[in-house]
Amino acid sequence: MKVGVPGLSANEDGAITPKLDERRKGESASAPSALRRDIRPRDRLAPLGERRRMEVKELTPALWPDLERLFGPRGACGGCWCMYWRLPEGKKWEEFKGAAAKRCFKRLVADGAARGLLAFAEGEPVGWCTFGPRPDFARLDRAPSLACDDADRVWSIPCFFVKGGHRGKGVAGALLGGACAAMKRAGARVVEGYPVRDSRDGKPIPAAFAWTGTLSLFRRAGFRPAGPRGTGKRRMRKVL
Sign, CA dihedral 194-208-15-107, equals negative
Domain annotation for the chain: domains and CATH numbers: 24-239 (3.40.630.30)
- Rounded average pLDDT over 184-207: 83
pTM of the model: 0.76
Gap between the Cα atoms of 107 and 47, Å rounded: 40
Gap between the Cα atoms of 62 and 47, Å rounded: 33
* Contact assessment for residue 166 and residue 127, using Cβ atoms and an 8 Å cutoff: yes
Task: State the greatest distance between any 2 C-alpha atoms of the chain, in Å, as a whole number.
Answer: 50
Sign, CA dihedral 205-176-144-79, equals negative
More confident residue, 88 or 191: 191
Gap between the Cα atoms of 53 and 69, Å rounded: 19
Work out the number of other CB atoms within 10 angstroms of the CB of residue 145.
14
Whether pLDDT at 29 is above 60: no
Q: What is the mean pLDDT of the chain?
A: 80
More confident residue, 39 or 145: 145
Cβ neighbours for 101, distance < 8 A, ≥ 6 positions apart: 75, 79, 80, 81, 83
Q: How far is CA 227 from the centre of its chain?
A: 21
